[in-house]
Amino acid sequence: MINHACLYLIGEVKMNNITKKKIALVTLGFLLGFSMIIFTNYQGKLKTDNQPNLKTPNSSQGTEIYTIADISILHSNLVDKSAAESIPGEWTFGAFPITPSSAPDADYEVANMKYVDDQIAGGGYSDDEARAANTYNVTTENEFNTAITAIGTGFGIIRFYAGTILLTAALNVNGGGSYIIEGYGDKTIIDVGGDWKAFYVTSAESCVLRNFKIDATDLTWTMTRVIDVTEVSDNQVIVDNVTVMGDGSNGLGIYLGSDNCIVKNCWVQGVFRGIYLDATSNNAIIGNTAYSNDNRGIYLSISNYNTINENLSYNNSRDGIYLVGSSHNAINGNICRDNTYVGIYLYSSSNNNNVTGNICYSNDEEGIYIRTSHNNTISGNACNANGTNGIWLYYSDNNTITGNTCNDNDLNDANVFGGIFLSGDSDNNTIIENTSNNNNNIGAGIGHGIHIADSICNNNRVGGNTLLGNDVNYNDSGTDTILLDVDTYDVTAPDSSSEWETGSTQSITWTSTGTISDVKIELYKGGVFEMEIVANTTNDGEFSWLIPTTLVDSTQYQIKISDVANPATNDFSDNFEIFTSIIDSLTVTTPDSLTVWETETTQSITWTSTGTISDVKIELYKGGVFEMEIVASTANDGTYNWGIPTDLEDGIDYQIRISDVLNPATYDESPNFAMTSADIPDEIPGYNLYFVIGIMCVVSVILFKKRFKLIK
């Protein structure tokens, strides 16, 4: 059958043009190759009926695989199974579940729980010890006390079930052991039931109180400590995700009387003082909410070297965060709003504190109040829309007030307050590079940007502040105030509307204050350093920059200008755009130098382009001389089908020219290519070659048939 097909194709080739001849040749080659593939495949046939199974399960492993769901079933049904288990995606236990032989009978079920607390494991116990811990599920205070006694100086977990536990006395943590004491979030409610503490931690190697709610609405005394941490050896106690709800005026929500504690993610509402640190150090108060308490949200009394970070303290009847006699504390990233008095209050020798990056707004009085406290750094805070002052220094010396924003304060009273206010004998303070705008009193008072109110305010240093739109921008009644010529920059070009093209020269401009002599100019993209434009140039306010053509298009570029002598003095421009213009161009891709086209055929002329060319003209040249217009205008879509006329002469020096209809100077020409007429010869060129190919096909078929008989 194949030999008939070969002869038929050869015969057909004689009757058609050159294109069909090529098709016939390709088909003959394909049939020959196909015959040889079949022949070879039969010759090399493999028998695979008895291949061994390479993944035969190893039944001697002795290890059962359980999913997380299986573990839960094992636990709930008290399955006693001593074989080792491997849990995909989790740790591997040497002997799990724990059996009565390795844990007390009454406790082995809960010891099998997969959950292990990181805090306890990090407190000096290995993971294995933590997994094997005694766990006590309790529902009453008596059961809690029994668990504390049973754990002794060891390690254990005490878990309150969901529900309400009514107390008749404080839950004492005093056994000297290491404890996790936990519930099921708000589903576990510990009701103090009277005027006593909920928890009293006095002796613990380590202790975690977490995941429960305390109902303290029955308290009748303001100073009752709901959670009282007074660990005698200053061992770490962690209070995590605990809610304390009071009656609106009584109780100290979380009281710390010992060092090295952590209070995090707690909610304290409706007590007298929310979180109270009393003569204690090295504590971390992080991510808590103190809301609607009758006195202060967070209170530090004679407490030093503590970290008070990222808390929300609002709607308290006095202050959001209050320090008295407390020094060397870090007060960072807190939000103190809508408090009846002050957002953050440093009082009575609360010295050397760092108050940074806080947001204090809509408090009835000050955003930040520094009273008789010294050597504090108040930086980068936003103290806006408070009733009197953004920041007030009163009888306070040697404080640094820098980089703060104090806008829209002193809302409606008869005072002369404003953004930043100094009064009393406040001396030697530094007030630089703050922004204090639009402090306007709509009542009888006068709003100031900065106001040094008393003549006994001596030797304060002021400079580099932005003061705009206030009733009075600056008023100084102090003595010997030093107006600083502060080194500052302000990049003025580029700005947010700038669009700079690569390869162009642009002017970078800036203004400066102070005594800066030389500047460095750098380029950033997306906040990341991109390149140095100039390492050192005179601080004359302008630099001409030839923009490299290698820069990638982006709208996220910034120029940074810094003082060569003091790089910390710098400024960034707004984000701006650098782009590369796309030049209009055309490139003919078909025909090329190997192309041979016949007359009376239809051929595809193809090209690529850049830029914004919409329509193109296509022309034919021969020997560099215009021959004919192929099309006057066609869409610039990269292809055009051309029906070649019959009257073109044979030649090898034809070219296609494609040009922009609107701008003929933008064009491209193809290489020389060949054009031939469509005359059909009497016989096929290379006929003998085709004949040989046909013979090879016939021989292949004969060999194939013989081989097939041998295999059978």
Contacts of 696 (CB under 8 A, 6+ apart): 32
Contacts of 693 (CB under 8 A, 6+ apart): 6, 25, 28, 29, 32
pLDDT score for 483: 86
Q: Is the pLDDT of residue 6 over 50?
A: no
**What is d(CA 400, CA 412) in angstroms, rounded to the nearest whole number?**
28
Partners of 521 in the β-ladder: 534, 561
pLDDT score for 631: 96
Of the pLDDT bands very low, low, confident and very high (cuts 50, 70, 90), residue 70 is very low
When the candidates are 3.40.50.2000, 3.40.50.720, 2.60.40.10, 3.30.390.50, the CATH number that belongs to 585-676 is: 2.60.40.10
> Tens digit of pLDDT for each residue in 424-476?
999 999 999 999 999 988 777 788 999 999 999 999 999 989 898 898 999 99
Phi and psi, residue 551, nearest 5°: -70, 140
The token duo for 159 is 């878990």
Of the pLDDT bands very low, low, confident and very high (cuts 50, 70, 90), residue 8 is very low
Residues in the chain, total: 712
pLDDT score for 424: 95
pLDDT score for 664: 94
Of the pLDDT bands very low, low, confident and very high (cuts 50, 70, 90), residue 62 is very low
In terms of pLDDT, which residue wins out, 92 or 246?
246
Strand 518-525 with 554-563, pairing: antiparallel
Of the pLDDT bands very low, low, confident and very high (cuts 50, 70, 90), residue 673 is very high
Strand 667-669 with 651-660, pairing: antiparallel
Of the pLDDT bands very low, low, confident and very high (cuts 50, 70, 90), residue 567 is confident
Within 10 Å of residue 445's Cβ, how many Cβ atoms? 19
**What is d(CA 306, CA 281) in angstroms, rounded to the nearest whole number?**
6
Average pLDDT of span 667-672: 96
**What is d(CA 584, CA 665) in angstroms, rounded to the nearest whole number?**
10
Of the pLDDT bands very low, low, confident and very high (cuts 50, 70, 90), residue 519 is very high
pLDDT score for 634: 97
pLDDT score for 125: 42
Q: Is the pLDDT of residue 108 over 70?
A: no
CA angle 509, 515, 516 (to 5 degrees): 45
pLDDT score for 376: 97
Q: Is the pLDDT of residue 55 over 70?
A: no
Q: Is the pLDDT of residue 198 over 60?
A: yes
Q: Three-state DSSP class for 31?
A: helix
pLDDT score for 109: 36
Where would I find the beta strands (DSSP E) of 348-398? Answer: 354-356, 359-361, 368-371, 377-379, 382-384, 391-394
The angle that helices 18-43 and 2-14 make with each other, rounded to 10 degrees, is 170
Strand 488-493 with 505-513, pairing: antiparallel
**What is d(CA 14, CA 243) in angstroms, rounded to the nearest whole number?**
96
Q: What's 169-483's CATH class?
A: mainly beta
Taking Cα atoms as reference points, which of 253, 285, 288 lies closest to residue 270?
253
Average pLDDT of span 195-200: 96
Which CA distances in Å does 64 have to 75, 97, 316, 505?
16, 12, 57, 72
The token duo for 257 is 């009387």
Where would I find the beta strands (DSSP E) of 248-353? Answer: 252-256, 262-264, 267-269, 273-278, 284-286, 289-291, 296-301, 307-309, 312-314, 319-324, 330-332, 335-337, 344-347
**What is d(CA 393, CA 411) in angstroms, rounded to the nearest whole number?**
19
CA angle 438, 442, 445 (to 5 degrees): 95
The token duo for 185 is 């979030």
Judge if the upstream peptide bond of residue 591 is cis by omega within 30 degrees of 0.
yes
> What are the structural domain ranges in the chain?
1-30+681-712, 66-115, 169-483, 488-579, 585-676
Which CA distances in Å does 95 have to 58, 124, 132, 627?
21, 22, 11, 92
> Tens digit of pLDDT for each residue in 245-266?
999 999 999 999 999 999 999 9
Residue 50 one-letter amino acid? N
Q: Is the pLDDT of residue 674 over 70?
A: yes
Contacts of 566 (CB under 8 A, 6+ apart): 487
- Looking up tokens 């002369």 gives 416
Q: Three-state DSSP class for 710?
A: helix
Say how far residue 56 (Cα) sits from the centre of its chain.
Answer: 46
Q: Is the pLDDT of residue 148 over 80?
A: yes
Partners of 383 in the β-ladder: 360
Taking Cα atoms as reference points, which of 116, 112, 115, 118 lies closest to residue 99?
112
Same fold, 169-483 and 585-676: no
Helices (H), strands (E): how many in the chain?
Answer: 8, 57
Percent of the chain with pLDDT over 90: 69
Please say whether the beta carbons of 42 and 708 come within 8 A. Answer: yes
Q: Is the pLDDT of residue 157 over 60?
A: yes
**What is d(CA 590, CA 612) in angstroms, rounded to the nearest whole number?**
21
Torsion of CA 474, 479, 485, 489, to 10 degrees: -40
Which CA distances in Å does 602 have to 17, 416, 640?
14, 90, 10
In terms of pLDDT, which residue wins out, 712 or 412?
412
pLDDT score for 412: 66
pLDDT score for 32: 52
Partners of 643 in the β-ladder: 602
**What is d(CA 546, CA 683) in angstroms, rounded to the nearest whole number?**
68
The token duo for 241 is 């995700």
The DSSP symbol for 665 reads: T
> Tens digit of pLDDT for each residue in 553-564?
999 999 999 999
Q: Three-state DSSP class for 229?
A: strand
Dihedral sign computed on CA atoms, order 515, 521, 525, 528: negative
The DSSP symbol for 185 reads: G
| Average pLDDT along the chain | 82
**What is d(CA 241, CA 384) in angstroms, rounded to the nearest whole number?**
31
Within 10 Å of residue 678's Cβ, how many Cβ atoms? 13
**What is d(CA 253, CA 239) in angstroms, rounded to the nearest whole number?**
12
Domain 488-579: which topology? Immunoglobulin-like (2.60.40)
In terms of pLDDT, which residue wins out, 91 or 292?
292
> Tens digit of pLDDT for each residue in 330-381?
999 999 999 999 999 999 999 999 999 999 999 999 999 999 999 999 999 9
Q: Three-state DSSP class for 290?
A: strand
Helices (H), 368-482: none
> Tens digit of pLDDT for each residue in 293-313?
999 999 999 999 999 999 999
pLDDT score for 253: 98
**What is d(CA 111, CA 97) in angstroms, rounded to the nearest whole number?**
8
Phi and psi, residue 34, nearest 5°: -60, -40
Residue 663 one-letter amino acid? N
Which CA distances in Å does 484 have to 283, 434, 473, 489, 511?
38, 13, 17, 15, 17
Which pTM value belongs to this model? 0.57
